[in-house]
Amino acid sequence: MVQQQLLDLRQAIDHLDDQLLQIFSQRAQLVQMVAQWKQKNNYPFYDPNRENQIVDRILKNNEGPLNQETLAPLFKSVIHYFREWEKKSSLRKERKKFKLSKQRVGIIGLGLLGASTALCLKDILPEISISGFDPIQPSHPELQSIVTLHHQIDSLFDCDVIILACPPLEIEKILRTHASRFAGKLVIDYASTKKNIFEALQSADKNFYFVGGHPIAGKSVHGNLAAEKGLFIQRPFVLCFDHLPQDQWPELPKILLEEFIQTLGSVPTQMSAEQHDQVFAYTSHLPQFLSTTLTLLIQQELTEKKQPLVFGPALQDLTRLATSDSKMWKDVVNVNQQNILIAMDAMMKKLEQMRESVLKNDFSKEFALAKNFKENDLNTNKEQK
């Protein structure tokens, strides 16, 4: 009897799952209709305000037993996966028109970003030809079946589109040594600093189409095993054209670049190399050193003083970057040290101001300003980070 009760309950759950499947199918059809309307009316594909409205409405109508902390991420995940599905679905419909699908793409560096690029391109454009080089044999099982691996970097210079996804110093070396072999090609680099990249191109001819690119799609884990097809979806992709302005390009490389960004699902953002390094000193490089410093402070003031180490998600979020590779960051500092130091000085000044506010127990203004900026600016880019 007890076992039959369990079977009956499971059958009831199965029945609800069947209903969910039908509901998801109906939702998918509506999502497609919305996407078609947006495309026809030139409306932005991603509307963060709409997502917030959906979640707020669900939470307002919730009568339990699931609490708000459970429902909010659940529905955000549903929205996210439907959006990713629709993006890929739309791209697949258009792929036969893409000139990029007929090009030979070479990816130098098959770590997280390079491998994710290969997986995404092959997923959306299955007929595309991809060659790859990395001094370390990739261990991602799917990668080995979709990329023709080469043992010499020179083998990739015959490709039509070349992606430089290796470490920044290696990119510099390639540009200084091999730029003469890039004539007529579209070349995109993935380095997280740009001043050094364009300095390496100062003596190069302007007979190829170089993009100082920076996909903002990092993860707390690195390497090709962490690669994923959807890594770049709705993430910013910075484009710098300091070598040869894009308005001086012929039509084909312009089209190939546009199709490349569309295939990744990224959001292009254009800026100069100088502006790039200044901005990312605050939005990427400073957070890394703050995370590392906070981790060391906790170790010094709690662990070394035999205090109990009790913490929650807030500390885990703030110290996530503390596991980063120092070798990679030495390369970043070598190039962008001045901008990073300026950002650090500004941060210390801000901390001193906050200390004074804490001393007076009067920091409501700072909290209100931060809350407003977070909700209205940083949250707008939440899906892009």
* DSSP secondary structure string for all residues of 207-260: -SEEEEEEE----SS-SGGG--TTTTTT-EEEEE-SSS-GGGS-HHHHHHHHHH
Tally of CB atoms within 10 A around 124: 24
Q: What is the pLDDT of residue 3?
A: 83
Range of the domain at 210: 101-271
Domain shared by 146 and 161, yes or no:
yes
Domain shared by 152 and 203, yes or no:
yes
Q: What is the pLDDT of residue 256?
A: 95
Q: What is the pLDDT of residue 382?
A: 45
Cβ–Cβ under 8 Å, residues 261 and 289:
no
Q: What is the pLDDT of residue 384?
A: 40
Domain shared by 145 and 265, yes or no:
yes
Domain shared by 332 and 376, yes or no:
yes
Domain shared by 110 and 233, yes or no:
yes
Q: CB-based contacts of 288: which residues, under 8 Å, 6+ apart?
A: 321, 324, 329
Domain shared by 261 and 283, yes or no:
no
How many domains would you assign to the chain? 3
Query: What is the residue-level pLDDT of the chain in tens, covering all 385 positions?
Result: 668 888 888 889 998 888 988 888 888 888 878 877 877 777 777 777 888 888 888 888 888 888 888 888 888 888 888 877 776 666 556 665 788 988 999 999 999 999 999 999 998 898 999 999 999 888 888 888 999 999 899 999 999 999 999 988 899 999 999 999 999 999 999 999 999 999 999 988 999 999 999 999 877 677 888 899 889 988 999 999 999 999 999 999 999 999 999 999 899 999 999 999 999 999 999 999 999 999 999 999 999 999 999 999 999 999 999 988 888 899 899 899 999 999 999 999 999 999 999 999 999 999 999 999 988 888 644 444 3
Domain shared by 129 and 44, yes or no:
no
Q: What is the pLDDT of residue 108?
A: 96
Domain shared by 136 and 265, yes or no:
yes
Domain boundary at 94, 122, 141, which? Answer: 94
Q: What is the pLDDT of residue 385?
A: 36
Domain shared by 40 and 105, yes or no:
no
Cβ–Cβ under 8 Å, residues 215 and 237:
yes
Which of 176, 168, 124 has its CA nearest to residue 146? Answer: 124
Residue 144 sits in a domain whose CATH number is 3.40.50.720
Residue 82 sits in a domain whose CATH number is 1.20.59.10
Cis ω before 65 (30° cut-off from 0): yes
pTM of the complete model: 0.76
CA distance 233 to 120: 10
Which of 76, 9, 7 has its CA nearest to residue 48? Answer: 76
Strand-strand pairing, 236-240 and 209-215: antiparallel
Domain shared by 252 and 108, yes or no:
yes
Domain shared by 128 and 258, yes or no:
yes
Residue 297 sits in a domain whose CATH number is 1.10.3660.10
Domain shared by 330 and 189, yes or no:
no
CA distance 51 to 68: 16
Domain boundary at 44, 62, 94, which? Answer: 94
Domain boundary at 94, 129, 162, which? Answer: 94
